[in-house]
Amino acid sequence: MRALLLAVLSASCSVPPTAPPVRVVREGQPGLVLACSVVDVGLELSEARCATADREWRALCERVDGLQGAAPASVDFFSERLVVVPVPTGVDMQQVEVSSEEGVDVVTLDVAPAEDAPVRPRVALLRLQRRSCQLAVVLRDDVRGAERTLAVYPSTR
């Protein structure tokens, strides 16, 4: 019995971050979102943050406890960037949608209310391909009929 309990506990400690599905719509760029995960953090983030260099990522990890362990083993900041988006409490990530509107890459995080959603601070960690157009990050809750642009970032090429 103790061995079974120990196995369950160690398995729960090694569960990888949640990865919502990515869907490309309309003229969205396939391969724009290289990875996405939802991560529990120690401090609530007030706004989306973008790291386009290793020093920016290290500084963000120092400010937000929990990010360092969730980061990819290596990021090629020449061709990639990392975007950290606060996930509101009381919702679960449903999917990530990639589209393009008027020459702007749009990454939309679809969320839905969930009674069993964690109340601790969480973020969505997006590993994105760098492109020669602007990037908009949007949070959409279709159930509540709410959508808002969280950040717009300039071209990174």
Q: pLDDT tens-digit profile of 23-59?
A: 999 889 999 999 999 998 888 888 999 999 999 998 9
Structural domain spans, the chain: 17-153
CA dihedral 128→112→19→139, nearest 10 degrees, is 10
Give residue 72's Cα distance to chain centre: 12
pLDDT band (50, 70, 90) for residue 18: low
pLDDT band (50, 70, 90) for residue 8: very low
d(CA 109, CA 71): 19
- Which pTM does this prediction carry? 0.83
On the question of pLDDT at 4 being above 50, the answer is no
Q: Return the SS3 of 10.
A: helix
> Are 114 and 92 contacting, i.e. CB atoms less than 8 angstroms apart?
yes
**Residue 115 CB-density burial (10 A; 0-12 exposed, 13-18 middle, 19+ buried):** exposed
Strand partners, 80: 129
Residue carrying structure tokens 């989306």: 48
Mean pLDDT of the chain: 84
